[in-house]
A and B are shown apart, each in its own frame.
Chain A
Amino acid sequence: MGAEEQNLLKTPLFSLHEELGGKMVPFAGYLMPVQYPLGVMGEHNHTREKAGLFDVSHMGQVVITGNNADEWLETLVPGNIIDLKENRIRYTTFTNEDGGILDDLMITKRNEDIFMVVNAACKEQDIAHMRAALPDHLELTELTDRALVALQGPVAASVLARFADGVDEMPFMSYTEAEIDGVACFISRCGYTGEDGHEISIPAEHAQAVCRKLLAEAEVEAIGLGARDSLRLEAGLCLYGHDITTETTPAEGALNWSIGKRRREEGGFPGAEKILAQINSGETETLRVGILPSGRAPAREGTEILDADDNVIGQITSGGFGPTFGGPVAMGYVKSEFSKVGTEVFLQVRKKKLEAKVAAMPFVEQRYYRKSK
């Protein structure tokens, strides 16, 4: 093991991953399971068919306490946080003065405070970014003593309800606190696979016990980062650092849906001038789109997108094989005039110029929970 690997952090579930045969790889400063003996394809399909358990403890969990923390957060993110109802969750982004995206995150308004989940690779920077702007009356705490897991898939909610009564009735993007096997957990009905499911924040010392209980259910398998990536790609969801970066704005990243009407009218977040000009005019130089290669060859990140005359018109930012879709899927940025669904484009994959089309996302229908009336 090299010096670099020795410095890698381990989540509270590390020994469980090893016990389960997880293949551990460095990821965002942590040693994380990329796959288990079931394999990426098997894990992907299992999640779409039943329920998969993902360790996402490397992500940052942060709490902000104090009066009007929601108002203050709106100075950092374009999302509508003030009007967020208690125990509801919102997806938003930290932006910079140029309108670029510093990170994407989930914000939960709780009874007394605000709970946030941020990306592993960005968490230190996010916390420094918030601390630099934090008023005296607010307190920021990183919850370093908690694990975070996601239970995702069509039967995930019903499995979790065996341990925590009623969680299968929670609305999509809502939050509750409940005991699982006697352990007090934060339970959020969200995830990043396109499937129904929950994210569960567990005190670190009980994380293995809770996960063992969940994994003991017949429908649940442990799922690694490999399948997490193919699932979120099929669901059309952005991976920070790849599909969205400081070089892309929310408008360019096709994330206008995450900026509500009031914020569009009032602005007041970093980069508002640029982002709102893009939203109001409906014009950006480039736009994130889905790309469907017409053959069987996957187009990976960094693949150039060309027009019929071999001009480079964009680049793939995430691409691979979609096991549920049954073929290669990708997303990337193209010059806006090429962003219409159905536009024929070409992909420079190694020495071959392959045909592809701009396609609507998600590639696999999202199955988030919608309460039947």
Chain B
Amino acid sequence: MTVYYSEDHEWISVNGNEGTVGITDYAQNALGDIVFVEVPEVGDDFAKGDEVAVVESVKAASEIYAPVGGEITAVNEELEDNAALVNSSPDGDGWFYKVNIADADELEGLMDADGYKAFVAGLE
């Protein structure tokens, strides 16, 4: 299993053809207390870069973009009642959705863990 990161602070953990997507610890920290996540619907199809979910903090709504394109195969229903999971476990229980990756080549444009770490360090 390999994890990739986008410059928009999404992560995607890839297992074969299936990717699990969430937002990074950096992103959840920047957003603050998360109170609602609008996840996509199973069966929806998104292209890389499409607005795929929305995260609402106490103060504002932020769009989440698809790190790769593909069909949604599952969504994290736990978030409906407990959006704070994104704050407490951004790269674990706070995952957003699973996607059937349409084009594995799209992963090439993403960063690995070290690359993302350096990218975030550059932002501060």
8 Å CB interface, B1-60 against A: 32-33, 35-36, 38, 54, 56-60
Minimum CB distance partner of A298 in chain B: B56
Inter-chain contact B58/A321, CB cutoff 8 Å: yes
Q: Is A306 an interface residue (CB 8 A)?
A: no
Q: Give the distance in Å from the alpha carbon of A296 to the alpha carbon of B54 in the complex.
A: 13
Q: Give the distance in Å from the alpha carbon of A323 to the alpha carbon of B81 in the complex.
A: 14
Partner of A320, one of B32, B38, B58: B58
Rounded to whole Å, the gap between the CB of A4 and the closest CB of chain B is 20
Q: Is A58 an interface residue (CB 8 A)?
A: no
Rounded to whole Å, the gap between the CB of A198 and the closest CB of chain B is 25
Minimum CB distance partner of B61 in chain A: A300
8 Å CB interface, A8-50 against B: 34-35, 39-42, 44
What residues of A have a CB within 8 angstroms of the CB of B60 in the complex?
300
Inter-chain contact B32/A321, CB cutoff 8 Å: no
Inter-chain contact A320/B36, CB cutoff 8 Å: no
Q: Is A103 an interface residue (CB 8 A)?
A: no
How many B residues are at the interface, by size bracket? 10 to 19
Minimum CB distance partner of B29 in chain A: A39
Q: A297-B38, A350-B38 given as contacts; is B59 within 8 A of A320 (CB)?
A: yes
Rounded to whole Å, the gap between the CB of A170 and the closest CB of chain B is 32
Inter-chain contact A230/B58, CB cutoff 8 Å: yes
Partner of A40, one of B32, B54, B61: B32
8 Å CB interface, A189-243 against B: 226, 229-230
Q: Is B99 an interface residue (CB 8 A)?
A: no
Q: Give the distance in Å from the alpha carbon of A352 to the alpha carbon of B54 in the complex.
A: 12
A-B interface, 3 closest residue pairs, ranked by CB to CB distance from nearest? A41-B33, A321-B35, A40-B58
